[in-house]
Structure 1
Amino acid sequence: MMTQKQKTLASYALPLVALGIPLLGNIFSKEINWSVSDFLIAGVLLFSTSFLINVVRRKIKKRTHRILICIFILMAFALIWIELAVGILGSPWAGN
């Protein structure tokens, strides 16, 4: 069983691991071409999502509410990430 401190540490280590994947791809492959701003935006999105889920886990007592709010946060994260990557909504800050 993990303690609260270990859960918090794991939830903030996960975005670092996720950012390590494109970093390794950038180093070893010509196919992946992320700029510093790409890493910065991805880091802000990943860490803010992790922070919000951590806050919800600590503050919301009812399990069903906690799950629903976390699903909403993850859906918002996915929508923003997809919009930045490929521009499904056609916003001015959409990707290529």
Structure 2
Amino acid sequence: MIAINKRFTLILIPCILLLLIPLIAMQFTTEVAWNTADFFVAGVLLLGTGLLGDLIWRKVKNNKRKVLLTLGLIVFLLLLWAELGVGIFGSPLAGS
């Protein structure tokens, strides 16, 4: 149980630190205009990616497959983040 809480904390802290970047930027510029829903979605994406990455590294035995799955997860996160942010694909997710 302690190992699970420690792993969760090691995933949660970077997520919070990453979410502090736009929060701090909003104090200095109007170019960053996030609302509560934006922070919630970003938090879910970051935390979900971190937890899935942890699951991959714990359950997959083959190191090559482990690295490929992790890279795929990161690419998926970045593409989804870009689509939600600026709509690079023009899907309904971006509000297009």
Taking structure 1 as the reference length, what is the TM-score of the superposition? 0.85
Secondary structure, aligned partner of 2:92: coil
SS at match of 1:61: coil
Aligned residues: 94
In structure 2, the CA distance between the partners of 1:84 and 1:9, relative to structure 1 (3 Å rule), is same
The structure carrying a bigger helix percent of its residues is 2
Q: Which runs of 5+ in 1 are unaligned?
A: none
Matched position secondary structure for 2:94? coil
Residue of structure 2 in register with 1:29 after alignment: 29
Taking a change above 3 Å as real, the CA distance of residues 85 and 13 of structure 1, as seen in their structure-2 partners, is same
Pairwise CA RMSD: 2.1
Question: What secondary structure, in the 3-state scheme, does the structure 2 residue paired with 1:20 have?
Answer: helix
Give the direction of change, closer, same or farther, for the CA distance of 1:82–1:76 in structure 2 (3 Å limit).
same
Contact 1:84/1:93 (<8 A) preserved: yes
The 8 Å contact of residues 83 and 95 in structure 1, kept in 2 or not, is answered as: no
Identity of aligned residues (%): 34
Structure 2 residue runs of 5 or longer lacking an equivalent are: none
CA distance in 2, matches of 1:91, 1:33: 22
